[in-house]
A and B are shown apart, each in its own frame.
Chain A
Amino acid sequence: MEICVLVKQVPSTDKVQIDEETGTMIRSELESELNPLDMYAVEEAVRIKENTPQTKITVVTMGPSSAEYALKEAISMGCDEGVLLTDRKFAGADTLATAYTLSQYLKDKHYDIIFAGERATDGETGQVGPSVGTQLDIPILTYVNKIINITNDTITVQRAIEGGNEIIQTQLPALITVVKEINEPRLPNLENKLKAKKSIIKIVSNQELKIEEEKLGLKGSPTRVVKVFYPKISRNGEKVVVKTPQEALEKITSFLKEKGVIS
């Protein structure tokens, strides 16, 4: 079976702190990592490989040359090879342009399943996965929390949707986005770490893809960020050190009454 996993490199999420003065969140801009929610996609692919002979996993990303590290993280978890789509012309792409570039690379490859994380922890759109699937004209299954069965030409999954789980089947090839509860990603073992270190990432630029420039990067992006601002998230709320639970109760109930939550 041929599996592809789409990943993204994101700024590290465990480095964020609140700026006391402005009440906004600050994060180190230097640190980046494999999008934590992509690890579940990688893990799920590796589990299929362990149970299906002759399975190969290719991990693909689009990003700056430093995104190689995210690919190597995925290889250290058990993926076979990494492909980095990188070109100055790709920069500034929104979700549609990103998905277009990815799908132009993927369109003549033959993957049975393409995995992606639910969303990236930086942009938090969750749009690239479904958009890639649609642009490749293959079915998309989103919010998957369990793979129930895979045959030669079908996949049956469980999707976490509002109010419960839906079981649904579709035809392969398909694009699957997974949620966190699907598995517990492994830590890389020594052997795979060494493999990742030695692995050579395949670099693909637009010289190879030959996409018209109007469809790439910022130029190819129908959405434009016109302004960015930093909301203040801290509130000047009341903080009470209570002496008795009764006092706490009174504080809370009077707050709830005042705000009309209870009568």
Chain B
Amino acid sequence: MNQEYKGVWTIAEVNDGKIETVSYELLSWGKDLATKLNVELSSVVISNKAENLDSLIQHGADNVYYVEDEKLEHFYPDVHTNILKKMVEDFKPEIILASATTKGRTLMPALAAKLNTGLTADCTDFEIEEKTRSLIQIRPAIGGNVMAKIKTITKPQMATVRPKSKLPLAKDENRKGKITKIKYDEELYQSKYRWIEFKKDETSVQPLQQADVIVAGGKGLKKSENFKYLQNLSKKLKGAVGATRAVVDMGWIDYSHQVGLSGKTVSPKLYIAIGISGAVQHLAGMSSSKYIIAINKDPEAPIFKVSDLGIVCDALDILPLLEKEIKSGDKND
């Protein structure tokens, strides 16, 4: 019976009509898997509006399924789950990937429960087992202490994928694909939720887990005012500000910035740890970053074990200089 499941799906994220970068990252993973399996790759868009759906094709999709309805302006878990359940029953994909964002990590467990299938959380890598064509899902657990390879014995095989775990494919303007608009009956859009408002966090330029660069601070910053250096630096590097549990507990910065076992897990291209000693709980949230720079005055600080470049000095001596040296727009895109 499982044989009839075919194709790889990625769930796109759209915010106010704009396709989010994580959607392209998922397509990059999806393309890998679809190529190995020799099947089609489809991107699913569920929204009240979406600009430039062609760009999903240009980034690797063969198909775009676009479920459009004015009632889909907000993320209502019940409506999104019911739509996807219907689509999966109609089209039977063998693999479904969503981003491990708050939306993906809400929607996917609900969908997996409805479909009575397996789901693996926050994967950082995938393989295809040649013999069985099964998806091998690779994820860290216990704060990166253990990596597990996980297989799903039911279909579809579902996983959420850690943002930034793969770069989007280069855009290919000549790539052709099909866009299919789908309408469903009114009853599918009935929701038990009522959206009220969104309050934007003005201090964060972008979500922590989606930032290429994270400038993070710990107790070595001495006082909360010194986070301004980190804020300025992160702005210039088009990044985000991270923090340790200790400084969040002291109220120096909001919890939304906390990195670590009881905060967020991040994998940016560059993580700059400033005045952070590197408690294991913090390392658990950032040790999968591509490059790590650490600045700490204690030469024995554990953070140096995981850093590519360690600078032993008082962070406060160097921050004003660094802030001046790095220019806005200095970042290579």
**Chain B contacts for A242, CB-based, 8 A:** 311-313
**Chain A contacts for B143, CB-based, 8 A:** 13, 16, 25, 121, 124
Query: Is A28's CB within 8 Å of the partner chain B?
Result: no
B-contact bits for A7-45, CB 8 A (1 contact / 0 none): 000010110111000011111000000001100000000
- In the complex, A238 Cα to B304 Cα: how many Å? 9
Distance (whole angstroms) from the CB of B102 to the closest CB of chain A: 5
A145, A233, A256, A261: the one within 8 Å of B306 (CB)? A233
**Chain A contacts for B201, CB-based, 8 A:** 163-165
**Chain B contacts for A80, CB-based, 8 A:** none
Query: Is A142's CB within 8 Å of the partner chain B?
Result: yes
**Chain A contacts for B263, CB-based, 8 A:** 180
- In the complex, A96 Cα to B262 Cα: how many Å? 23
Q: Which of A96, A128, A156 has the most CB of B within 10 A?
A: A96
- A25 (CB) vs chain B CBs: closest residue: B145
- B199 (CB) vs chain A CBs: closest residue: A165
Binds A, one of B30-38, B57-65, B205-213, B218-226: B205-213
Contact check, A260 vs B283: say whether CB atoms are below 8 A apart: no
Query: Is B232's CB within 8 Å of the partner chain A?
Result: no
**Chain B contacts for A159, CB-based, 8 A:** 102
Residues of A108-127 at the interface with B, using a CB-CB cut-off of 8 Å, are 121-127
Query: Is A223's CB within 8 Å of the partner chain B?
Result: yes
- In the complex, A223 Cα to B270 Cα: how many Å? 33
**Chain B contacts for A13, CB-based, 8 A:** 143, 261, 281
Residues of A240-263 at the interface with B, using a CB-CB cut-off of 8 Å, are 240-242, 245-246, 248-249, 251-253, 255-256, 259-263
**Chain B contacts for A14, CB-based, 8 A:** 281
B116, B151, B256, B302: the one within 8 Å of A181 (CB)? B256
Distance (whole angstroms) from the CB of A128 to the closest CB of chain B: 8
Contact check, A121 vs B254: say whether CB atoms are below 8 A apart: no
- In the complex, A260 Cα to B293 Cα: how many Å? 14
A18, A124, A166, A255: the one within 8 Å of B141 (CB)? A124
Residues of A206-263 at the interface with B, using a CB-CB cut-off of 8 Å, are 221-231, 233-235, 237-242, 245-246, 248-249, 251-253, 255-256, 259-263
Contact check, A163 vs B332: say whether CB atoms are below 8 A apart: no
Query: Is A170's CB within 8 Å of the partner chain B?
Result: yes
B81, B270, B280: the one within 8 Å of A259 (CB)? B270
Query: Is B120's CB within 8 Å of the partner chain A?
Result: yes
Contact check, B256 vs A252: say whether CB atoms are below 8 A apart: no
Given A142-B102, A168-B195, A226-B151, the answer on whether A25 and B269 have CB atoms closer than 8 Å is no
**Chain B contacts for A66, CB-based, 8 A:** none
Query: Is A194's CB within 8 Å of the partner chain B?
Result: no
Contact check, B256 vs A240: say whether CB atoms are below 8 A apart: no
A-contact bits for B112-153, CB 8 A (1 contact / 0 none): 111011111110000000000000110011111111111111
**Chain A contacts for B284, CB-based, 8 A:** 25
**Chain B contacts for A126, CB-based, 8 A:** 105, 109, 121
Q: Which of A11, A140, A221 has the most CB of B within 10 A?
A: A140
Query: Is A192's CB within 8 Å of the partner chain B?
Result: no
Contact check, A235 vs B306: say whether CB atoms are below 8 A apart: yes
Contact check, B196 vs A245: say whether CB atoms are below 8 A apart: no
Query: Is A133's CB within 8 Å of the partner chain B?
Result: yes
Contact check, A162 vs B318: say whether CB atoms are below 8 A apart: no
B-contact bits for A156-180, CB 8 A (1 contact / 0 none): 1011111111111111000000011
17 A-B pairs (CB sep. < 8 Å): A18-B283, A25-B284, A96-B118, A134-B81, A159-B102, A161-B102, A163-B204, A164-B198, A169-B196, A221-B118, A229-B149, A237-B304, A245-B321, A248-B295, A260-B332, A262-B326, A263-B332
The 4 closest A-B pairs by CB, nearest first: A222-B118, A181-B255, A162-B207, A125-B121
- Interfacial residues, chain B to chain A (CB-CB below 8 A): 74, 77-78, 81, 101-103, 105-106, 108-110, 112-114, 116-122, 136-137, 140-154, 192-201, 204, 206-207, 209-210, 213, 237, 254-256, 258, 261-263, 265, 269-270, 280-281, 283-284, 287, 291-293, 295, 299, 302, 304-313, 317-318, 321-322, 325-326, 330-332
- Interfacial residues, chain A to chain B (CB-CB below 8 A): 11, 13-14, 16-18, 23-27, 36-37, 94-96, 99, 121-131, 133-135, 139-140, 142-143, 145, 156, 158-171, 179-181, 221-231, 233-235, 237-242, 245-246, 248-249, 251-253, 255-256, 259-263
